[in-house]
Amino acid sequence: MKPRRTDGAALRLWAAAAIAGLVGAIIVGAPHEVGAEPAAPASRSFSHAGLDRVGDYIKNEIASGNIPGAIVLIQQHGKPVYFEKFGVRDVATRLPMTDDTIFRLYSMSKPITSVAAMMLVEDGKLALGDPVSKYIPAFADVKVGVEKLDPTGELALRLEPVDRPITIEDLLRHTSGLTYGFYGDSPVRKRYASVGLFNGDFDNAEFVGRIAKLPLAEQPGTRWDYGHSTDVLGRVIEVASGKSLFQFDKERLLDPLGMRDTAFYVADAAKRPLIAEPMPNDRLVAPVAGIRDPMEPRRWESGGAGMVGTIGDYARFAQMLLNGGALDGRRYLKAETVALMTSDHIGPETKIARDQFYFPGANSGFGLGFAVRTSVPPNTSWPLGEYRWDGVGGTFFFIDPADDMFVIFMVQTPSQRGRIQLELKTLIYQALQK
């Protein structure tokens, strides 16, 4: 089932209502049964020879010693077109890649947390225009770090008041001013890296308390800056729902979708051999965003980077989104909500700047949890409206409504992820024929 198409003007009006805090009034109501959708437009299909080249590419990466193994799923019209497992999940154990192999998702956790938040928007318990301080009072006093010359002529970090509060929409689209401390060298990022943000065994409430004491990297709503926004959103979900983030995720999203192996760590010691590992020389030097061993029990449930899961679990999530918010007769989000999430919220009309690390790339904007294709790169056939994200461990997915398909690639390779993602995606679209 395809999501209903929404023209740009209608979408902008809907977004404006959301920003004004009216989303709850617009879409509050019990989940409704999935009805008939308009017939989907004709889409391209795959050539067998093209798909063979996809497999050959992955086999060559394994033979070259770049990755231990991988799994790729291309699903179109609700059915797998290509689903293959390659190599091993760990060169130390030589255990093969299997359907139940568990991967560190890292930032592929963000779309899951974003969907959970939008479920609460539909419930009327959140609104996109709400200030974050409504749910986390410590953010009422947050300041912006600005580098200015002091009386001696030296650059110093000055703290200035915010021009407006951080909103829920800012958390979803990474315009909150919250950043990460593990890349870049700005004074604020250095402050993030030096204060022991991840020390000890802390929960989401304690973590956001620490974050709220740090300066913002810029004024809210002025710049796309990738950081801990989704982690703070996870705490907002807890406050609004009265449940832990994992409890809410399980009750409303993970269990109903059948995502049984998706969690914030692998709780069952017997499943340790299922965890995929990168090559020994391809491990992250330091924990990224505070995430360490996926077997390590921890109270912190990082909505931005903490989840682990299987390809089958993520496929259920992706198919639900491609269907416009429904799967197997159950609706999780309204089609209009999915359309809002997968439209560009940082386009030129918003005057939102893009930081120097702008990960979506020049041909994409950003929605509410996803990069969104806004123009076609040269020498590609990548479609407008495609939305996607990836993880620092190497996993990535993209959803292509125009061709009624999604692709998920599961691998653990921090150093090779960008190169492989680009080359594999190019091969996949070369395999599509009119």
Cβ-defined contacts of 414-421 (< 8 Å, 24+): 414/278, 414/282, 414/283, 414/284, 415/282, 416/61, 416/66, 416/67, 416/282, 417/390, 417/392, 417/393, 420/61, 420/66, 420/67, 420/394, 421/390, 421/396
264 and 206 belong to one structural domain: no
How far is Cα 16 from Cα 366, in angstroms, rounded to an integer?
Answer: 16
- Chain-centre distance for alpha carbon 169: 15
Closest by alpha carbon to 178, among 117, 109, 110, 225? 225
pLDDT recorded at residue 1: 36
Residue 40 or residue 10, greater confidence: 40
pLDDT confidence tier of residue 373, bands split at 50, 70 and 90: very high
Average pLDDT over residues 242-247: 98
pLDDT recorded at residue 285: 64
How far is Cα 113 from Cα 103, in angstroms, rounded to an integer?
Answer: 17
Q: Model's pTM, two decimal places?
A: 0.90
pLDDT recorded at residue 164: 98
Using CA atoms, how far residue 303 sits from 196, 234, 261, 265, 307, in Å, is 19, 5, 16, 12, 7
Average pLDDT over residues 137-158: 85
> Which residue's structure tokens are 């909103």?
167
Q: Which of 24-33, 94-103, 199-208 has the lowest mean pLDDT?
A: 24-33
Burial pattern 2-35, b for ≥16 Cβ within 10 A else e, equals bbeebeeeebeebbebbbebebbebbeeeeeebe
Q: Contact 299/346 with Cβ under 8 angstroms?
A: no
Other Cβ atoms less than 10 A from the Cβ of 74: the count is 21
Average pLDDT over residues 260-267: 96
Structural domain ending residue among the three candidates 241, 268, 291: 241
103 and 143 belong to one structural domain: no
pLDDT recorded at residue 42: 58
- Does residue 104 carry a pLDDT above 70? yes
Whether residue 248 lies inside any domain: the answer is: no
- Chain-centre distance for alpha carbon 333: 17
Q: Which of 30-39, 222-231, 261-270, 282-291 has the lowest mean pLDDT?
A: 30-39
pLDDT recorded at residue 22: 36
223 and 275 belong to one structural domain: no
- Does residue 80 carry a pLDDT above 80? yes
Average pLDDT over residues 348-371: 95
Packing angle, helices 204-212 and 229-241, rounded to 10: 130
- Does residue 110 carry a pLDDT above 90? yes
115 and 133 belong to one structural domain: no
Average pLDDT over residues 40-46: 72
pLDDT recorded at residue 11: 40
How far is Cα 79 from Cα 133, in angstroms, rounded to an integer?
Answer: 44
Q: Which amino acid is at 46?
A: F
Considering its fold, how many domains does the chain have in total? 2
pLDDT recorded at residue 153: 67
Structural domain ending residue among the three candidates 241, 271, 302: 241
Question: In terms of C-beta density within 10 A (0-12 exposed, 13-18 middle, 19 or more buried), how is residue 198 classed?
Answer: middle
Residue 14 or residue 158, greater confidence: 158
- Does residue 411 carry a pLDDT above 50? yes
Structural element, H or E, at residue 120: helix 109-123
157 and 111 belong to one structural domain: no
pLDDT recorded at residue 150: 72
Structural element, H or E, at residue 241: helix 229-241
Whether residue 214 lies inside any domain: the answer is: yes
pLDDT recorded at residue 92: 96
Question: For 117, phi and psi rounded to 5 degrees?
Answer: -65, -40
Cα Rg for the chain, rounded, in angstroms?
21
Return the sign of the alpha-carbon dihedral for residues 275, 301, 169, 29.
positive
Average pLDDT over residues 176-201: 90
Whether residue 409 lies inside any domain: the answer is: yes
111 and 146 belong to one structural domain: no
- Does residue 19 carry a pLDDT above 70? no
288 and 381 belong to one structural domain: yes
Q: Which of 51-60, 186-195, 210-219, 420-429 has the lowest mean pLDDT?
A: 186-195
Return the sign of the alpha-carbon dihedral for residues 11, 14, 20, 21.
negative
- Does residue 9 carry a pLDDT above 70? no
- Does residue 41 carry a pLDDT above 70? no
How far is Cα 284 from Cα 297, in angstroms, rounded to an integer?
Answer: 20
pLDDT recorded at residue 386: 97
132 and 115 belong to one structural domain: no
- Does residue 8 carry a pLDDT above 50? no
- Does residue 243 carry a pLDDT above 80? yes
pLDDT recorded at residue 3: 37
- Does residue 400 carry a pLDDT above 90? yes
Contacts of 278 (CB under 8 A, 6+ apart): 67, 68, 393, 394, 412, 413, 414
- Does residue 354 carry a pLDDT above 60? yes
Whether residue 418 lies inside any domain: the answer is: yes
Mean pLDDT taken over the chain: 89
Other Cβ atoms less than 10 A from the Cβ of 238: the count is 23
Structure tokens at 104: 């560190």
264 and 385 belong to one structural domain: yes
Q: pLDDT tens for residues 268-294?
A: 999 999 999 999 999 876 666 677 778
Residue 266 or residue 153, greater confidence: 266
Q: Contact 214/196 with Cβ under 8 angstroms?
A: no
Give me the domain span that covers residue 398. 8-121+258-433
Structural domain ending residue among the three candidates 210, 241, 272: 241
